[in-house]
Amino acid sequence: MKSLDLRPLSVGEILDRTFTLYRTHFLLFLGICAVPQILLLALNLSQVFIGTPAIPGKQGANAAVAHLSTGMGVTAVILGILGLIVWLIVYLFSQGATVTAVSELYLGRTITISDSFRRVRGEVGNLFGVIMLNGLATGAAFILLIIPGIYVMCRLAVCIPAALIENLGPRTSLERSWELTKDNAGRAFLIILLYFALSFAAAALFAVPFQIMMVLSAAKSHPEAMRMWMAFMQIGSTIATVLVTPVLTIASAILYYDLRVRKEAFDLQMMMNPLGGASPVPSSVPSVLS
């Protein structure tokens, strides 16, 4: 596969390249996101049909809704905790495998879904640390004010690509992202803004109609119908997530490479070493060409 030309890109070009890469390798990125999401969907459906049983009688639907909202019952609690663990694992593998795939494709190599997951398997612990530190830093900033929270989110937008591609630890990955995105937080913000817009649009298309039907069924005291629409809502939410999530991850990886091209002449490094062997880089810059 021919590598994409490494040169400074505008935000529009980053997004264009994101959608081009996504469209060209749609099944690859869809599979990477869908495989772990199916596991999470199965658990969510279990919560719907096991954790929120239908309660007969006039007040059945209201009781079922109360049961769901308060997490009553040992089964619901166990499924809820298990769901959180599975969600975290799904997120780690989806993010890591997508960044790995983008990196290989971006530099002109080929990769499969199984290869992407296999390569990220040994990085799960490190990714967990990166995501936890990222969440703590961003959450602390949001507690102070919304604007600082958004700014920190933008400055840490490429911490996962930095961790995987440069083999950095959690703290170093965040510092690396902060360094690369200096004077570029606005570009990261536009990418994140587009992702949220696509997420809301996908949710409105695939999940919200079922949510409306679920509420109507609850209002009419039809617990079985409510549970059915709740299951459809979970399926719709999964479809929306699978379709939209790769956009942000691909764009973040491309932004990472663009920032390296702009600030560290990464394109010249690749020209001098197109086969991906070790190449000289500034002493302050970890090598990604191992």
One digit per residue, pLDDT tens: the chain, 290 residues?
A: 555 677 889 999 999 999 999 999 999 999 999 988 898 888 888 878 775 544 444 444 455 445 445 544 566 677 677 777 878 888 888 999 999 999 899 878 889 999 999 988 888 889 999 999 999 999 888 887 888 899 999 999 999 999 999 999 999 999 999 999 999 999 999 999 999 999 999 999 999 999 999 888 888 878 888 889 999 999 999 999 999 999 999 999 999 999 999 888 776 666 665 555 333 344 344 433 33
User: Quick check: 251 and 257 in contact, CB under 8 A?
Assistant: no
Helices marked H in the chain: 11-24, 26-46, 60-70, 74-106, 113-121, 124-144, 146-155, 159-165, 170-180, 185-206, 208-219, 223-264, 266-272
What pTM was computed for the model? 0.81
User: Which pLDDT score is estimated for 68?
Assistant: 47
User: Which pLDDT score is estimated for 283?
Assistant: 39
Using alpha carbons, select from 42, 68, 69 the residue that is nearest to residue 54: 68
User: Which pLDDT score is estimated for 277?
Assistant: 38
Q: How far is Cα 235 from Cα 42, in angstroms, rounded to an integer? A: 9
Q: Which two tokens stand for residue 187?
A: 């570009």
Instruction: Count CB atoms within 10 A of the CB of residue 78.
Output: 13
52: buried, middle or exposed (CB in 10 Å: 19+, 13-18, 0-12)?
buried
Q: Which two tokens stand for residue 39?
A: 């596991």
Q: How far is Cα 188 from Cα 14, in angstroms, rounded to an integer? A: 10
* Residue in this structure with the two tokens 């719907």, named with its chain if needed: 48
User: How does DSSP assign 105-173, residue by residue?
Assistant: HHTT----HHHHHHHHHTTHHHHHHHHHHHHHHHHHHHHH-HHHHHHHHHHTTTHHHHHHHTT--HHHH
Q: How far is Cα 262 from Cα 252, in angstroms, rounded to an integer? A: 15
